[in-house]
């Protein structure tokens, strides 16, 4: 029997405040956060007024224009980032439990996320101390170099599915490059980000370098995107909101990075081990209850193994242990909120009405174990058509559609038949076919015989409506810099372009 942690180890009944100009302060209102595992109020958090958002932006502006952070050496900034990473590790158990309570995902997942967050700060701490810049061989007497400099004040808006990790993806390269920022976490999952602010303060980050404001998109996110004091905006979330942010950024033509999700395909050829393919398929879609931008939400399976694949996947899906994230045997937790649960259930009804065949799942889970929590059973649809909404639209829940193909060409065509292009995978033993097919996928992140491998060293982002730009790796650091050429004349004599006139 699973051991249930009836009382959380972490203290949630405390003040959760805004962090502006190096100080914590109350907001002008409060929001109640609900524990997704049981539907009960977890705690209350402060929310910022428009004036406080402006105050945070001005603090970041001062810190960039006049403060020490952009003027520190790369080594000095790196030392602070290493301290932040160490503090995250030192508080990993607390941070993991906070994320489980706030967002619902199992502890085994949040523990990985916290470790990845620390590693992200370490990666960029190490990266910025390496040689950079370019010297260009131009005609004498000029000497020309190309350097990268920080952009300035960066607005950062992150989603609820990976709260601390998304903060790390945004903050680590931003700070490494010497920028300052205003960060808005999701209104649903701000707890670990507020706790991170305390760790940033403990690490000695100068005042105003990182400012954290809580609240929803229209009240807090939009003013950040519109502000002419902000030089760059980085957003992870929906396409709809991403377009609004891009439009708002036009006011001062601020730099924009958008990671907007996907409807990612996983192609399975008949030569691949069926049981292993099913195992990866389960991981691809049901990790974090399907609330992953790169989730493998479209299985594209060769016709000769289609029925066997669907049958085995359904049998395995029905055995997934769904429950509260604090139970040690839970494999899949609840959805993050009641509104997200309703959205997923509505899509399931849409699939039924469109004529797709519901193989398993498709319902809210109820009973003593689930209470009033936001649980949806692992769901599989088969016999779907490409024009169905459940095939084309991002559901962001534990719902997968299984499509059938006969030829390699058809598999690629189905895979690319989407407005999105974030991720995709190919499963085959034929390495020649693997190379050929994966190169044809219109996606920014691809795998062969694997899924969900994510590395801080590698760029993250997609094609088409999956967004603009890339995060992580050297690409992520470059996205927080401006490129400057410096030309020095070593022999400044008169140009003589115009004749002297007496």
Distance CA 5, CA 425 (A): 37
Distance CA 333, CA 326 (A): 9
The closest of 332, 106, 54 to 215, measured between CA atoms, is 54
* Count of other CB atoms within 10 angstroms of residue 463: 18
The closest of 413, 391, 392, 389 to 402, measured between CA atoms, is 391
Question: Catalytic: 293?
Answer: yes
Distances in Å between the alpha carbon of 17 and those of 190, 247, 295? 10, 30, 33
Residue bearing tokens 């998304």 = 166
Radius of gyration of the chain (CA): 25
Distance CA 418, CA 446 (A): 15
CA atoms within 13 A on the CB side of 392: 9
Task: Enter the DSSP assignment of 4.
Answer: B
Residues across the chain: 502
Distances in Å between the alpha carbon of 99 and those of 24, 32, 118, 186, 283? 21, 16, 15, 12, 20
The closest of 258, 300, 261 to 428, measured between CA atoms, is 300
Question: Catalytic: 181?
Answer: no
Distance CA 309, CA 301 (A): 8
Distance CA 482, CA 484 (A): 7
The single residue of 47, 109, 259, 327 carrying the catalytic annotation is 259
Tokens standing for 485?
């050429």
Burial class of residue 354 in the structure, from the number of CB atoms within 10 Å of its CB (0-12 exposed, 13-18 middle, 19+ buried): middle
Contacts of 174 (CB under 8 A, 6+ apart): 154, 156, 181, 234, 480
Tokens standing for 157?
């808006």
Helical pair 107-127 and 74-90, crossing angle rounded to 10 deg? 160
Distance CA 470, CA 485 (A): 23
The single residue of 120, 154, 181, 293 carrying the catalytic annotation is 293
The closest of 202, 191, 189 to 12, measured between CA atoms, is 191
Q: Are 372 and 379 spatial neighbours (Cβ–Cβ below 8 Å)? A: no
Active-site residues, by number, are 259, 293
């Amino acid at each position: 029997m699973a051991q249930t942690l009836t009382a959380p180890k972490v203290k949630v009944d405390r003040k959760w405040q805004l962090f502006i100009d190096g100080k914590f302060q109350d907001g002008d209102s409060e929001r109640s956060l609900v524990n997704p595992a049981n539907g009960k109020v977890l705690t209350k958090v402060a929310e910022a007024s428009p004036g406080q958002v402006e105050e945070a932006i001005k603090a970041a502006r001062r810190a960039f224009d006049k403060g020490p952070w952009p003027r520190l050496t790369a080594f000095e900034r790196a030392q602070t980032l290493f301290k932040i990473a160490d503090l995250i590790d030192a508080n990993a158990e607390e941070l993991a439990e906070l994320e489980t309570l706030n967002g619902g995902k199992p502890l085994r997942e949040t523990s990985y996320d916290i470790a990845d967050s620390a590693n992200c700060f370490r990666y960029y701490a190490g990266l910025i101390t390496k040689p950079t810049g370019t010297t260009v061989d131009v005609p004498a007497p000029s000497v020309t170099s190309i350097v990268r400099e920080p952009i300035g004040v960066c607005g950062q808006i992150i989603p609820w599915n990976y709260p601390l990790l998304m903060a790390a993806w945004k903050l680590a390269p931003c700070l490494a490059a010497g920028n300052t920022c205003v960060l808005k976490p999701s209104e649903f999952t701000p707890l670990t980000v507020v706790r991170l602010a305390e760790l940033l303060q403990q690490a000695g980050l100068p005042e105003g370098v990182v400012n954290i404001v809580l609240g929803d998109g229209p009240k807090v996110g939009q003013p950040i995107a519109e502000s002419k004091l902000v030089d760059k905006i980085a957003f992870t979330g929906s396409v709809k909101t991403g377009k609004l942010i891009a439009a708002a950024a036009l006011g001062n033509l601020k730099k924009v990075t958008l990671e907007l999700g996907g409807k990612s395909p996983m192609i399975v050829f008949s030569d691949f081990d069926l049981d292993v393919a099913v195992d990866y398929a389960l991981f691809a879609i049901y990790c974090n209850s399907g609330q992953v931008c790169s989730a493998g939400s479209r299985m594209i399976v060769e016709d000769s193994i289609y029925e066997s694949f669907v049958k085995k996947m359904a049998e395995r899906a029905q055995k997934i242990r769904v429950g509260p994230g604090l139970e040690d045997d839970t494999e899949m937790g609840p959805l993050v909120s009641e509104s997200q649960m309703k959205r997923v259930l509505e899509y399931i009804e849409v699939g039924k009405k469109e004529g797709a065949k519901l193989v398993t799942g498709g319902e809210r889970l109820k009973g003593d174990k689930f209470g009033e929590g936001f649980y949806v059973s692992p769901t599989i649809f088969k016999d779907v058509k490409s024009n169905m909404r459940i095939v084309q639209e991002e559901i962001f829940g534990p719902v997968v559609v299984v499509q059938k193909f006969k030829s390699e060409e058809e598999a690629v065509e189905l895979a690319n038949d989407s407005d999105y292009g974030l991720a995709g995978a190919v499963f085959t033993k034929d390495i020649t076919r693997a190379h050929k097919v994966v190169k044809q996928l219109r996606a920014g992140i691809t795998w062969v015989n694997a899924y969900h491998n994510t590395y801080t060293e590698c760029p993250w982002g997609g094609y088409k409506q999956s967004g603009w730009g890339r995060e992580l790796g050297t690409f992520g650091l470059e996205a927080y810099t401006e490129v400057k050429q410096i030309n020095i004349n070593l022999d400044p004599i008169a140009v003589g372009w115009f004749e002297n006139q007496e």
